[in-house]
Amino acid sequence: MSKVKVTAFSISIDGYGAGPDQTQDAPLGKRGEELHEWIFPTKKFQTLYGKGEGTEGADNDFAEKSFDNLGAWIMGRNMFGPVRGPWPNDDWKGWWGDNPPYHVPVFVLTNYPRESFTMEGGTTFHFITDGIEVALEKARKAANGKDIRIGGGTSTIRQYLKAGYIDEMHLAVAPVFLGSGEHLFDGINLPKLGFTDTQTIYGKGAVHVILKKKSENN
């Protein structure tokens, strides 16, 4: 059965999914890149971006699994790019070059309409101005029974969490404190939302925490 899930989403020990003062030069905010240092050396990351052989082990296993059985992605506009306000033109195609790593339909939440476009490798970006429910409905149809990944950023995940749409999450807890920024769980009651099953696995660069809603059969 198709799931709505968060995978390989990095947070600090104190719960921040991005640092403060996000800019075009620092899209993850101050010190935000420190949250993702666990994934940069992995074989999966290096394969995607063609920079070397990469490391194996638990961190790489989770990086690999994060792409399993995906039929569609949903992301916020800030994750797609640094452009704010009305789209000045169609020049910006994302951070990832001509061949983004998604290879499935990607639905971008935005307040400003833009025509869909297709990149190398089968990634098609669609821009949704009608809210998270419409984006999820379109993603379900596009996924055709496969899973839907809520890719981020923090605000987008929080919206889907609060609405009760997310079935499971894999969080990579980086060994850093940010102290401020975008907090993932501020004001969110995970047990009330049904998250009761947990699993923890230690990687070299992060602690991997799996959160799932308890199955009705258990």
Q: Report the DSSP pairing between strands 4-11 and 168-173.
A: parallel
- For residue 114, give both structure tokens: 């833009």
166, pLDDT greater than 80: yes
User: What is the rounded distance in angstroms from the CA atom of residue 40 to the CA atom of residue 204?
Assistant: 12
The per-residue pLDDT for 20 is 83
- Summarize pLDDT for 196-218 with one digit per residue, the tens: 889 999 999 999 999 999 764 44
Lowest mean pLDDT among 21-25, 81-85, 90-94, 189-193: 21-25
Q: Which residues make Cβ contacts (< 8 Å) with residue 114, sequence separation at least 6?
A: 87, 90, 127
- Summarize pLDDT for 34-64 with one digit per residue, the tens: 999 999 999 999 988 767 789 999 999 999 9
Whole-prediction pTM value? 0.92
User: What is the rounded distance in angstroms from the CA atom of residue 52 to the CA atom of residue 175?
Assistant: 25
In this prediction, residues 69-93 reach a mean pLDDT of: 92
| Residues in a beta bridge with 117 | 125
Helix (H) or strand (E) holding 208: strand 207-213
The answer to whether residues 69 and 213 touch, using CB atoms and an 8 Å cutoff, is no
Pick the CATH number of 4-16+29-81+95-213 from 3.60.20.10, 3.40.50.720, 3.30.200.20, 3.40.430.10: 3.40.430.10
* φ and ψ of 121, to 5 deg: 85, 0
User: What is the rounded distance in angstroms from the CA atom of residue 169 to the CA atom of residue 7?
Assistant: 6
In this prediction, residues 50-79 reach a mean pLDDT of: 93
